[in-house]
Chain A
Amino acid sequence: MATEAGRAPLAAPYRISLRSRFYGLGSIYAKTMRDSRLAFIVAAGLMGGIMLVVSVAITKAYPTAESRVELASLATSLGAASGIAGKAVNVGTMGGYVQWKYGSFFLLIAAIWSIMALSGTLASEARGGSLEFVAASPFGKRRIALEKVTAHLTAMTLTVVIVGFAAWLAGAAFATLPGDAIPVQAAVGYALWLGLVALFFGGLAFALAQFFGRAVGAGVAGFALFAGWILQGYAATVPAFTPFALLTPCAWTADHLPLAGQYNWPSLVPTAIATAALLAIGVEAFARRDVGAQQAVRTPRLPRPLRGLRGPIGRSIGERLPMTLAWSLGLGIFTLAMAAISKSLADDVAKSPDLLKTFGQIFPSFNITTAGGFLQLMIQLEYIAVGFAAATLVSGWASDETSGRLEMILSTPLARPRWAILSGLGVYVAIVVMTAIMAVCVGLGAAAAGSDALTPMAGTIALGLYAAALAGVGFAVGGWKTSIAAEVVALVVVMTYLIDLLSPALSLPDWFHQLALTSHLGQPMVGHWDAGGVVACLVLAAAGLAVGGWGMRRRDVGL
């Protein structure tokens, strides 16, 4: 008897309720939007808010036409030394100043978000096991990946629309001089550039994650982002950087400065094509590979002695080591490049009285006629990076509890405070390793440039101290609730940066500026140490760990 496999009988029509749709339970797309709502609020709020604040700041700091002219001439005279700030075009206008000083900063925020979201959207579901349920529903794998990518594209689009709107609004509401208004075309051009370039790096992470796993995908894309940004910034100074800089959209779109009134729309086309191609590769690779396989290509394992099987400190180090090495590599290359070019840039500045005057006015507390002084100026940016490194290390420390394995660990003869302190010490060891690698890199760069290597190598310790202090804050919070420890550290990093950045620009009281720990760290790259800051870092690190251990002793585990 022949059996015919026909279509399944049609079920009664099912309508997804309005409530389900509203709460993001109506589709994979909606659920992904729901899951990314916090990240969207943070990214859009942060960038939109900063756009408004810095726009107001320029009108207060440079209120007259004369001061704007002076600002523009100073910025233009920087030339190649402008570095990662990019080309100085129409800096005397509100839009031109924001584009020059903060344009790339917005890109870093948007791109890091895109990298984290797109590298993790499928991997985190696979790790949690929910991907199998989704894949078993009546959707093909290609559609699942497409809906998830589309959700991120939607969130990114909304974010850049908010940033563009904030730029237009700033021009409309706070313009004080002719040329301050930011036309709709400029706002759209900036939003489009921001979204496309950020999605390029997110797409790179997404495509690589399908083959090598989330960590490698995110790591390589993050490295490409920072490398592209730095190499493009200094390509004019160091011509050897140019071929590498040309590999990323940072170089392709270098002439597209819409807030400054300079447009290069065709430069966005290759970025859009490359982004679409990377996303398509990621979708197709996911559709073709096994569900649940988090990486198609095996990455090498750590040598056995480094896996940390002897106890909590070793285990903590072993778990954190891949992340530590990834951060060390990225930060090390940055410090090496900065150290290598700082002497030639310092010499250029020293030879030009105009340039010297310019820098002196913008950065009055830095002696940039020396390699160390210039390096110190560059290294200020690295405080943000090591802060985020500390946040990721704290996140790893917290994962013992947030992932559920702490229950088994604490069923052994290991007291809770002991676990908190020993595994926290493992994080400090990871920070020491990271700092040591950065120190070696900065030493190599300085030596290659023929300048003093030992002083900046010792100065790198300040970065490690700052990271340790932040980790201490994370441990203290973790003693109360590990699930938010890393988020609090990241928030402290952002707040510290904003306080340090905006206090002078907005003429805020000195005590407010002093709230930023980075304002107490002196200029260690030239050997000027602030003992108060060093002590504050050490106290935060030690007390944070102790408070974390004390908190763990008092509360329930795993709740």
Chain B
Amino acid sequence: METPWVEKYRPKVLKDIVGNEETVDRLKVIAEAGNMPNLIIAGPPGTGKTTSILCLARALLGEDVYKEAVMETNASDDRGIEVVRNNIKMFSRKKVTLPPGRHKIVILDEVDSMTSAAQQALRRTMEMYANTTRFALACNTSEKIIEPIQSRCAVLRYTRLSDAQLLKRLLEICDQEMVPKVEEGLEAIIFTAQGDMRQAINNLQSTYAGFGMVNAENVFKVCDQPHPLLVQAIVAACIEGDIDKAYGGMQELWGMGYAPVDIITVFFRIVKQYDMPEYLTLEFVKEIGRTHIRVLDGVDSFMQLTGLLARLVNISRAAATTHS
């Protein structure tokens, strides 16, 4: 198989980055003018954080010195406190001849996976070598970054990409790869991706590779989670007290071959968002929790799931009688 499309179509320059225009615009200005501040880019996965930083570093330093003046680490690297104190500090001290306004860049991808002790060790390094080295941090949630680090950085936040932005990019890729597609297929991809460009592209590629044709059915076959709508129907049936309908729905899901853990996880996600009295939600959650534990414990039979349904129906019926 060819290279993953996510890599193949990863933007090389800032202007190709989709979404978060204002923030990216600022990065562009920095790319031209130099003097990059310490950055934290926070945002959900697949919104172009790492890509932005890589593009920025490349634009600032050029390919020639990139290797020498950029230190790239991500969660796959050891980034314990020792590494911060030794490798990163050493790199910060290193002399690399760069044009004025350009600095060495330390890229720390997925900083939220760094221990807070390691982050502590980073603090003064960021300041003491600020005249030669700048840090670019990417993370999913900035709350995992200790406050002093946040204080030392300009924090940029990326948001999920809109459906239109995803679609535009997907269409471009489809054109280049000559992927046969129908509209519903792309819609399904966008639905499952939830604003995550990487997932969208991955799903596109998987669907194409697996089935050669991108339509809704194939997409859902590829994206392996129980379809939220199906689960929602089951929950609705439980609330109505219609055990037969709920059972039918569960049987259908089971028949599709989903893992019980997946089913129960989606179940929980749906229940907690479902519009029903909080009391009911919490009772449901309690039962789901119990079942969840059993499933995790290895008792992941169909019986457990149907038992759950029965209990849920009981709860909602009891609630209905007390209320009426």
Co-complex (A, B): no
Interface residues of A (CB under 8 A from B): none
Interface residues of B (CB under 8 A from A): none
